[in-house]
Amino acid sequence: MTCARTEPEPMLSVAIIAGNEEHHVGDALASVADLAGDIVAVIDSRSRDTTAAICRDYGARVYIEPWRGFPAQRNRALDLCAGTWVLFLDADERVTPELAQEVRTTLSNGTDMAGFWIPRHNLFFGRRLQGGGWYPDYQLRLMRRGCARYDESRLVHEFATLDGPAGMMHGHLVHLNIERFDELWRKQRAYAFQEAQTLLLANAPVRWRTLVSAPVREFYRRFITLHGYRDGALGLFLCATMAYFEIVKYVHLRGLAAFRHALTPQS
Protein backbone atom coordinates (compact mmCIF):
# COMPACT_ATOMS: atom_id res chain seq x y z
CA MET A 1 0.00 0.00 0.00
CA THR A 2 1.17 3.53 -0.78
CA CYS A 3 0.64 5.65 2.30
CA ALA A 4 1.47 9.31 1.65
CA ARG A 5 0.68 11.79 4.40
CA THR A 6 1.59 15.12 2.82
CA GLU A 7 -1.79 16.49 1.68
CA PRO A 8 -2.32 19.95 3.22
CA GLU A 9 -6.10 20.01 2.84
CA PRO A 10 -7.63 16.52 3.12
CA MET A 11 -10.85 15.83 1.32
CA LEU A 12 -13.33 13.40 2.85
CA SER A 13 -15.28 10.77 0.96
CA VAL A 14 -18.19 8.97 2.62
CA ALA A 15 -18.68 5.41 1.38
CA ILE A 16 -21.90 3.44 1.83
CA ILE A 17 -22.38 -0.24 1.00
CA ALA A 18 -26.10 -0.90 0.67
CA GLY A 19 -28.89 -2.94 -0.86
CA ASN A 20 -32.65 -2.75 -0.28
CA GLU A 21 -32.13 -0.04 2.35
CA GLU A 22 -34.64 2.58 1.23
CA HIS A 23 -36.05 2.92 4.76
CA HIS A 24 -32.66 3.78 6.27
CA VAL A 25 -30.23 5.18 3.73
CA GLY A 26 -31.76 8.66 3.43
CA ASP A 27 -31.27 9.45 7.11
CA ALA A 28 -27.72 8.06 6.96
CA LEU A 29 -26.84 10.37 4.09
CA ALA A 30 -28.58 13.31 5.75
CA SER A 31 -26.29 12.89 8.76
CA VAL A 32 -23.20 13.51 6.57
CA ALA A 33 -24.71 16.04 4.15
CA ASP A 34 -22.57 18.91 5.50
CA LEU A 35 -19.49 16.78 6.08
CA ALA A 36 -18.65 14.86 2.91
CA GLY A 37 -17.02 16.37 -0.14
CA ASP A 38 -17.67 13.16 -2.03
CA ILE A 39 -20.21 10.37 -1.47
CA VAL A 40 -19.81 6.94 -3.03
CA ALA A 41 -22.62 4.40 -2.82
CA VAL A 42 -21.90 0.81 -3.87
CA ILE A 43 -25.30 -0.80 -4.33
CA ASP A 44 -25.82 -4.55 -4.42
CA SER A 45 -27.04 -5.43 -7.92
CA ARG A 46 -29.71 -7.64 -6.34
CA SER A 47 -31.33 -4.59 -4.74
CA ARG A 48 -34.91 -4.05 -5.93
CA ASP A 49 -36.02 -0.91 -4.10
CA THR A 50 -35.25 2.80 -4.40
CA THR A 51 -31.95 2.76 -2.50
CA ALA A 52 -29.93 3.85 -5.53
CA ALA A 53 -32.33 6.67 -6.40
CA ILE A 54 -32.25 8.02 -2.84
CA CYS A 55 -28.45 8.00 -2.89
CA ARG A 56 -28.43 9.94 -6.17
CA ASP A 57 -30.84 12.48 -4.66
CA TYR A 58 -28.18 13.18 -2.01
CA GLY A 59 -25.53 13.71 -4.68
CA ALA A 60 -23.83 10.33 -4.34
CA ARG A 61 -21.92 8.69 -7.15
CA VAL A 62 -23.78 5.39 -7.40
CA TYR A 63 -22.25 2.13 -8.63
CA ILE A 64 -24.40 -0.96 -9.11
CA GLU A 65 -22.12 -3.88 -8.37
CA PRO A 66 -22.44 -7.66 -7.99
CA TRP A 67 -22.23 -8.79 -4.38
CA ARG A 68 -18.70 -9.96 -3.53
CA GLY A 69 -18.96 -10.13 0.25
CA PHE A 70 -18.51 -7.31 2.78
CA PRO A 71 -14.69 -6.92 2.74
CA ALA A 72 -14.40 -7.12 -1.06
CA GLN A 73 -17.26 -4.63 -1.42
CA ARG A 74 -15.52 -2.22 0.94
CA ASN A 75 -12.26 -2.55 -1.00
CA ARG A 76 -14.19 -1.73 -4.15
CA ALA A 77 -15.59 1.37 -2.46
CA LEU A 78 -12.08 2.43 -1.39
CA ASP A 79 -10.96 2.18 -5.02
CA LEU A 80 -13.90 4.33 -6.17
CA CYS A 81 -13.57 7.09 -3.58
CA ALA A 82 -11.86 10.34 -4.57
CA GLY A 83 -11.03 11.66 -1.12
CA THR A 84 -7.77 11.44 0.77
CA TRP A 85 -9.86 10.22 3.70
CA VAL A 86 -12.79 7.79 3.66
CA LEU A 87 -15.52 7.45 6.25
CA PHE A 88 -17.47 4.20 5.93
CA LEU A 89 -21.10 4.48 6.99
CA ASP A 90 -23.72 1.73 6.92
CA ALA A 91 -27.25 2.57 5.86
CA ASP A 92 -28.58 1.91 9.37
CA GLU A 93 -25.98 4.17 10.99
CA ARG A 94 -26.00 7.89 11.72
CA VAL A 95 -23.14 10.32 12.29
CA THR A 96 -23.90 12.47 15.33
CA PRO A 97 -23.29 16.24 15.07
CA GLU A 98 -20.51 15.89 17.65
CA LEU A 99 -18.72 13.27 15.55
CA ALA A 100 -19.16 15.29 12.36
CA GLN A 101 -17.55 18.33 13.99
CA GLU A 102 -14.72 16.24 15.41
CA VAL A 103 -13.96 14.69 12.01
CA ARG A 104 -14.09 18.09 10.34
CA THR A 105 -11.73 19.62 12.89
CA THR A 106 -9.29 16.69 12.93
CA LEU A 107 -8.90 16.55 9.16
CA SER A 108 -8.68 20.30 8.67
CA ASN A 109 -5.96 20.56 11.34
CA GLY A 110 -3.97 17.70 9.82
CA THR A 111 -2.98 14.41 11.43
CA ASP A 112 -0.29 11.75 11.07
CA MET A 113 -2.77 8.97 11.82
CA ALA A 114 -3.70 6.40 9.17
CA GLY A 115 -7.17 5.92 10.62
CA PHE A 116 -9.48 6.42 13.57
CA TRP A 117 -11.64 4.16 15.72
CA ILE A 118 -15.11 5.57 16.41
CA PRO A 119 -17.34 4.55 19.35
CA ARG A 120 -20.82 3.40 18.42
CA HIS A 121 -24.14 3.37 20.25
CA ASN A 122 -26.21 0.28 19.36
CA LEU A 123 -30.00 0.50 19.52
CA PHE A 124 -31.96 -2.74 19.93
CA PHE A 125 -35.74 -2.33 19.65
CA GLY A 126 -35.24 1.41 20.10
CA ARG A 127 -33.22 1.07 23.30
CA ARG A 128 -29.58 2.14 23.59
CA LEU A 129 -27.50 -0.65 25.15
CA GLN A 130 -24.87 -0.11 27.83
CA GLY A 131 -23.04 -3.46 27.97
CA GLY A 132 -22.69 -6.90 26.45
CA GLY A 133 -20.09 -5.77 23.92
CA TRP A 134 -22.55 -3.40 22.26
CA TYR A 135 -20.98 -0.34 23.86
CA PRO A 136 -18.63 1.37 23.25
CA ASP A 137 -18.30 -0.99 20.24
CA TYR A 138 -15.40 0.86 18.58
CA GLN A 139 -15.40 0.67 14.78
CA LEU A 140 -12.46 1.46 12.48
CA ARG A 141 -14.43 3.55 9.99
CA LEU A 142 -12.38 6.65 9.25
CA MET A 143 -9.21 5.89 7.30
CA ARG A 144 -6.68 7.42 4.97
CA ARG A 145 -7.60 5.86 1.65
CA GLY A 146 -4.08 4.93 0.58
CA CYS A 147 -3.35 3.32 3.95
CA ALA A 148 -6.26 0.89 4.28
CA ARG A 149 -7.27 -2.48 2.90
CA TYR A 150 -9.75 -5.14 4.00
CA ASP A 151 -8.89 -8.84 4.35
CA GLU A 152 -11.26 -10.50 1.89
CA SER A 153 -10.96 -13.90 3.57
CA ARG A 154 -12.82 -12.53 6.60
CA LEU A 155 -16.42 -12.84 5.44
CA VAL A 156 -18.19 -11.10 8.35
CA HIS A 157 -17.35 -8.47 11.01
CA GLU A 158 -14.65 -7.24 8.66
CA PHE A 159 -12.22 -4.46 9.53
CA ALA A 160 -9.42 -2.70 7.69
CA THR A 161 -5.71 -3.27 8.06
CA LEU A 162 -3.89 0.07 8.24
CA ASP A 163 -0.42 1.00 7.08
CA GLY A 164 0.19 3.30 10.04
CA PRO A 165 -1.13 4.18 13.50
CA ALA A 166 -4.79 4.58 14.45
CA GLY A 167 -6.26 7.17 16.78
CA MET A 168 -9.52 7.37 18.71
CA MET A 169 -12.52 9.62 18.14
CA HIS A 170 -14.81 10.70 20.96
CA GLY A 171 -17.95 11.52 18.95
CA HIS A 172 -20.31 8.63 18.26
CA LEU A 173 -21.95 6.73 15.48
CA VAL A 174 -25.52 5.63 16.21
CA HIS A 175 -26.45 2.17 14.91
CA LEU A 176 -30.09 1.18 14.51
CA ASN A 177 -29.00 -2.39 15.01
CA ILE A 178 -32.19 -4.38 15.47
CA GLU A 179 -35.78 -3.13 15.24
CA ARG A 180 -37.74 -6.43 15.06
CA PHE A 181 -37.32 -9.95 16.48
CA ASP A 182 -37.41 -11.56 13.03
CA GLU A 183 -34.64 -9.20 11.92
CA LEU A 184 -32.48 -10.31 14.87
CA TRP A 185 -32.98 -13.97 14.03
CA ARG A 186 -32.36 -13.52 10.31
CA LYS A 187 -29.24 -11.39 10.80
CA GLN A 188 -27.64 -13.66 13.40
CA ARG A 189 -28.37 -16.78 11.36
CA ALA A 190 -26.58 -15.21 8.37
CA TYR A 191 -23.66 -14.14 10.55
CA ALA A 192 -23.37 -17.65 12.00
CA PHE A 193 -23.10 -19.18 8.54
CA GLN A 194 -20.57 -16.58 7.36
CA GLU A 195 -18.47 -17.05 10.50
CA ALA A 196 -18.53 -20.81 9.93
CA GLN A 197 -17.27 -20.26 6.37
CA THR A 198 -14.46 -18.04 7.68
CA LEU A 199 -13.45 -20.72 10.21
CA LEU A 200 -13.51 -23.36 7.48
CA LEU A 201 -11.18 -21.25 5.30
CA ALA A 202 -8.84 -20.97 8.29
CA ASN A 203 -8.97 -24.77 8.79
CA ALA A 204 -10.28 -24.35 12.32
CA PRO A 205 -10.65 -27.67 14.17
CA VAL A 206 -14.15 -29.13 14.49
CA ARG A 207 -14.82 -30.72 17.88
CA TRP A 208 -18.11 -31.83 19.42
CA ARG A 209 -17.17 -30.37 22.81
CA THR A 210 -17.09 -26.92 21.19
CA LEU A 211 -20.88 -27.13 20.83
CA VAL A 212 -21.04 -26.90 24.63
CA SER A 213 -18.00 -24.81 25.51
CA ALA A 214 -18.44 -22.09 22.86
CA PRO A 215 -21.96 -20.97 23.88
CA VAL A 216 -21.05 -21.08 27.58
CA ARG A 217 -17.99 -18.91 26.95
CA GLU A 218 -19.97 -16.50 24.79
CA PHE A 219 -22.73 -16.04 27.36
CA TYR A 220 -20.23 -15.53 30.20
CA ARG A 221 -18.18 -13.10 28.10
CA ARG A 222 -21.15 -10.96 27.13
CA PHE A 223 -23.28 -11.11 30.27
CA ILE A 224 -20.54 -11.03 32.95
CA THR A 225 -17.22 -9.84 31.50
CA LEU A 226 -18.78 -7.24 29.17
CA HIS A 227 -21.51 -6.29 31.68
CA GLY A 228 -24.55 -7.35 29.66
CA TYR A 229 -26.44 -7.49 32.95
CA ARG A 230 -26.56 -3.70 32.88
CA ASP A 231 -29.31 -3.94 30.27
CA GLY A 232 -31.59 -6.06 32.44
CA ALA A 233 -33.98 -8.52 30.82
CA LEU A 234 -33.10 -7.30 27.32
CA GLY A 235 -29.42 -7.82 28.03
CA LEU A 236 -30.08 -11.34 29.32
CA PHE A 237 -32.13 -12.19 26.23
CA LEU A 238 -29.54 -10.82 23.80
CA CYS A 239 -26.60 -12.53 25.52
CA ALA A 240 -28.50 -15.83 25.49
CA THR A 241 -29.31 -15.32 21.80
CA MET A 242 -25.63 -14.74 20.95
CA ALA A 243 -24.75 -17.90 22.90
CA TYR A 244 -27.35 -19.92 20.97
CA PHE A 245 -25.95 -18.78 17.65
CA GLU A 246 -22.52 -20.02 18.69
CA ILE A 247 -24.09 -23.48 18.56
CA VAL A 248 -25.57 -22.70 15.13
CA LYS A 249 -22.15 -21.52 13.90
CA TYR A 250 -20.34 -24.70 14.92
CA VAL A 251 -23.11 -26.94 13.60
CA HIS A 252 -22.67 -25.15 10.25
CA LEU A 253 -18.90 -25.58 10.51
CA ARG A 254 -19.22 -29.33 11.08
CA GLY A 255 -21.53 -29.63 8.10
CA LEU A 256 -19.24 -27.61 5.84
CA ALA A 257 -16.19 -29.57 6.97
CA ALA A 258 -17.96 -32.88 6.32
CA PHE A 259 -19.02 -31.70 2.88
CA ARG A 260 -15.48 -30.59 2.02
CA HIS A 261 -14.09 -33.91 3.25
CA ALA A 262 -16.57 -35.82 1.08
CA LEU A 263 -15.43 -33.86 -1.99
CA THR A 264 -11.72 -34.31 -1.28
CA PRO A 265 -10.17 -37.23 -3.20
CA GLN A 266 -8.87 -39.87 -0.80
CA SER A 267 -5.37 -41.20 -1.40
Using CA atoms, how far residue 122 sits from 7, 59, 79, 159, in Å, is 34, 28, 29, 18
pLDDT digits (tens, 9 = 90+) for 23-65: 999 999 999 999 988 999 999 999 999 999 999 999 999 999 9
Closest C-alpha among 150, 172, 178 to residue 24: 178
Whether the per-residue pLDDT at 17 is higher than 50: the answer is yes
Closest C-alpha among 8, 14, 56, 33 to residue 145: 14
Q: What is the pLDDT of residue 198?
A: 87
Whether the per-residue pLDDT at 154 is higher than 70: the answer is yes
Burial call 230-242: b when 16+ CB within 10 Å, e when fewer: ebeeebbebbbbb
Confidence of residue 9 (pLDDT cuts 50, 70, 90): very low
Q: What is the pLDDT of residue 58?
A: 95
Of all residues in the chain, the percent with pLDDT exceeding 90 is 82
Separation CA 141–CA 103 (nearest Å): 11
Whether the per-residue pLDDT at 227 is higher than 60: the answer is yes
Q: What is the pLDDT of residue 261?
A: 78
Q: Which amino acid is at 187?
A: K
Separation CA 167–CA 106 (nearest Å): 11
Helix, coil or strand: residue 180: coil
Separation CA 151–CA 16 (nearest Å): 18
pLDDT, the chain, mean: 93
Q: What is the SS3 string spanning 215-267?
A: HHHHHHHHHHHCCHHHHHHHHHHHHHHHHHHHHHHHHHHHHHHHHHHHHCCCC
Q: Decide if 177 contacts 107 (C-beta within 8 A).
A: no
Confidence of residue 8 (pLDDT cuts 50, 70, 90): very low
**What are the residues whose beta carbons fall under 8 Å from the beta carbon of 180, sequence distance 6 or more?**
125
